[in-house]
Chains A and B, each alone.
Chain A
Amino acid sequence: MLSLLLIIIASLFFTGIIIRTKSILSGRKGPGIFQPLKDIWRLFKKGAVYSNTSSFVFQIAPSIYFASILMAILMIPLGGHQGIISFKGDFIFFAYVLALGKFFMIVSALDTGSSFSGMGASREALYSLLAEPAFFILMSSFALLTGYTSFHEIFSTLHFGTYISYAIGALAAFVLVIIALIENSRMPIDDPKTHLELTMVHEVMILDNSGFDLGLILYGTNLKFAMYGGLIANFFLTPSYEWYFSIPIFIGVQLLFAVIVGILESFMARFRMNHNPQYIFMLTSISLLIFLGVLLVLGKIA
């Protein structure tokens, strides 16, 4: 319950902090932290325009997408506190639930019949399938390291001892940050600010969404960011900490994560579209590196 609340609170600030960081770094005054939230609130109250090509799939997809993210958040633990739903192998459920949301978003983009949306859908489908193996290998490495197969058990028994394990932790955090960036279609993969539809990935998929649906999608992105932030924070929360320690650590990690995303977006350019698959697949090799590290730590290989 605690993690759900904290993640929702973090999601309220997340995009705001990213935008604030970017504006500070580029020397602009920039909007306030709550501006993205105000935009979403405005969208919630607005009416909608539906294309005459689209069908009910287009109308239910954003809601299912949002529900899938909420469902995934329900499974995130917080240090010693387990998520609302927690069982052996819950991270498999986590990944597949997110995939369900993505399935609906891709299909709804094809539902508009627009060539641009189709293009975005094609790219999103490809990138998300390439990013998936990294997450699974990462989780199986930690399952191997701790001997458990659920988020709660893994994170509550995880502790870093040797130097290699610190390296593993750092690499894991790196992989998760990149996965979060890919899943949310952020900078090195996709530029949310671009104005050219041909170079968009996620933005072009939701060109036809408006009103409440668009609000849901935008807020869904915030939630997803905070969710991955929460996941990363769990690496640094050990169950021995009391809540008055773990909550500040959680908030600190989320803040750091948002600032890092802001910095990355300020100083990096988007990759060429045909280099993206290689870049994303690189993640899998990094997570294989983590796996090797875990084998080293456990002494399975000399």
Chain B
Amino acid sequence: MSIIICIIIVTILSTLLLTLVKESKKAYVALFAVIINVILSSFIAIPALIGSSFEQSFYGGTVFVNIPLRVDPLSAWFILLMDITVLTGILYGSQYMKAYKNQSSNLTMHFASYILNHFAMISIYIVQNSFALLCVWELMAITSFLLIIFEHHKIDTLKAGINYLIQSHISIMFMTMGFIWVNSFTGSFDFNAITTYTSTVSPAVSFLLFLCFFVAFAIKAGFVPFHTWLPYAHPTAPAHVSGVMSGVIIKLGIYGILRILLLIKGDYMAMGYFILVISVITGIYGVILAIVQHNIKKLLAYHSIENIGIIGIGIGLGCIGLGLNNFYLSFAGFGGAMLHTLNHSLFKSLLFYCAGTIYQATHTLNIERLGGLIKKMPQTTILFLIAALAICGLPPFNGFISEFLIYSGLFKGVLSGQISSTIFFITAILGLVIIGGLAMLCFTKAFGIIFLGNERHHLPENIKEAKPLMLFPKYIIVLFILLIGVLPQFVVFLVSKPALLFTGKNSILTQPIEYIQTFQFVGIGAITLILLSLMILWIKKLVTKPAIVSVSPTWGCGYKTESPKLQYTANSFVRPFRKLISPILQMNKKENKIEGVFPKQIHSETHPYDKLEAVLIDTPLMYLKGFLGKFKFLQNGKAQFYILYGMIFIFLIITLPVLVGAIFYVIELIKQI
């Protein structure tokens, strides 16, 4: 029995089993199923990553006939990184969902969706037939929709979920268009048909085909301006789902783009420039909006967009490298992009899990209301701090490693090639630096305001550290973050396998070896940094041993009445920056004027809104509504009319061939004349 059939059987059986067990056991069934699927899929993925690709044909009934299943290093890399996050997600989620243990049917639906979603993702990475891919992609889209709307009694959640559902179907529509396009010329649903088709047509046509696929996958991944579903979907989902969504589900888009680039033949330069430009915009726009958010999960969601931008810069760099025939560049670009995909899935899921813990303890996600959590939740604080440092791309953590790989590729690119690519690369470097700096502003704000200082608002009394079982998956992630940070050479070696798929056989193994040597030094640097910090802390301990340490209130510059309200808020922390970039932002402000000699208590609120969403989604939607409103009279609520519409429809369907035949007949007649 093949592994694939095992995975299918496990998925179906565990989904059925979920309906039979008690509420408290459902989480364990899901956990069990996910663990088995993780082990089974790793059995395929690990050998494929090391060298022996998995290839099989799966009989899919009369509709699909034979579905080719292939796992090359690219699929294997994505399967493995997905498995890590899905596993930590269910480990965390099984604890997180205990708060909802009285909603039996809801829980069954949720966990069943989780298992099916995992299964769908494994299939997406394995299937190499476009028709089958569309089916599993649809399964993934629907199950993740069900995961998002767990709290469907809230209107916002439902709205966000439907927004997601619509946008992901637009994505599927583009994908279908692309596949039909290829199929109509080649008659095959196998992925290799894309290669055979695009190697016969002109580069402009293959670029158009690429655009079609890119839009499809960019909606999934959240590239600007296709990102608008993301900041709604992530905050409303339960924390572990947000972590998995941001960590791996949106990465399906990245996988799709990489897979298409691997298949398509055409003008790589044009594609590379296109991806590079859109990614730099994505990165900067994402982080700018992240900075002004007050809802921590929304902030993290916008940060996902930023990181997709960084990954995209890597992909663009790799593409240009292919165009320039410079394998050094394409290795750094694709390798960096894939490594950043892994890294982002690690620290972003950790951040979302921490946000979930904060939410369950304080019942708020508004940064402005939090503060001083470090004294009550020290472990969560340290975990969040590590993840924040990692996401800012600071050494000695993992985020730095992938950014460094992309940077070194970009610098190499500046040196080699023509003037045009040099200009693009310098822009990308500029973009990456600005993204890094802004990310630091964003996370000093998030970490500082949430965890440090004093409580800014009256929080519940009983805030406690999360239970060990809830912390356990987070520590697993931290372990990965640190390992990648201090031993980067191994992970760069691992990522070189899928990256070499792009650069081709002729680059042999010399390029990765050079990078691996550099990364040995980066690792040494990271370790030296840690040792230096420890050494100075130790010296401090030695020197200050005899000194007297006392505790007193914070120095208020002469002001004696200290109050938590005097603390800097998140809004004031980013105010200078917000003023600087005000043209890009749209801040919806509700403010009442202060009137009279003795003004009454007034209320003011500010909501940052996505300007691009207002321009690209809201305005066209308004016009569309206006236009469609003209046809409202059709929907008059009378059953007779609806029956009439049905009759007309059936009549048209029946007479259509006759009509077409008649038209052809007339045309023939005219021709004869």
Q: Which residues of A contact B (CB under 8 A)?
A: 44-57, 60, 63-64, 66-68, 70-71, 74-75, 85-90, 92-93, 96-97, 99-100, 102-103, 106-107, 110-119, 121-123, 125-126, 128-130, 132-133, 136-137, 140, 143-144, 147, 149, 197, 207-208, 211-213, 216, 274, 277, 284, 291, 295, 300-301
Contact = CB atoms under 8 A, between A and B. Distances in A.
A208 B555 contact: yes
Contact of B574 (A46, A122, A300): A122
A122 B575 contact: yes
Contact of B573 (A92, A118, A197): A118
21 contacts: A47-B548, A51-B554, A53-B453, A54-B554, A55-B375, A63-B536, A67-B533, A70-B536, A85-B524, A89-B407, A90-B525, A93-B395, A99-B392, A100-B389, A111-B452, A114-B556, A122-B568, A129-B441, A130-B437, A143-B411, A300-B422
A62 to B, nearest CB: 8
A43 to B, nearest CB: 11
Given A137-B426, A149-B408, A300 B544 contact: no
B441 A143 contact: no
Contact of A96 (B394, B411, B551, B575): B394
Nearest to B396: A100
A132 B433 contact: yes
A87 B191 CA distance: 41
The secondary structure that dominates the B interface is helix
Contacts of B419: 295, 300-301
The secondary structure that dominates the A interface is helix
A46 B433 CA distance: 40
B549 interface: yes
Give the interface size bracket for B toward A: 35 or more
B554 A89 contact: no
Interface in B459-511: none
B449 A110 contact: yes
Interface in B546-601: 547-557, 562, 564, 566-568, 572-577, 579-580
A123 B444 CA distance: 12
A106 B547 CA distance: 26
Contact of A136 (B389, B430, B529): B430
A208 B556 CA distance: 9
B436 A99 contact: yes
B552 A51 contact: yes
Given A87-B521, A107-B452, A121 B543 contact: no
B448 interface: yes
B550 A53 contact: no
A96 B419 CA distance: 28
A108 to B, nearest CB: 8
B454 A113 contact: yes
Contacts of A87: 517-518, 521-522, 525
A159 B57 CA distance: 62
A280 B648 CA distance: 70
Contacts of A300: 418-419, 422
Given A68-B533, A113-B562, 19 more contacts: A49-B551, A53-B454, A63-B540, A68-B529, A89-B404, A89-B407, A89-B408, A99-B440, A116-B556, A118-B448, A119-B572, A122-B575, A125-B445, A129-B437, A130-B437, A140-B414, A212-B543, A213-B540, A295-B422
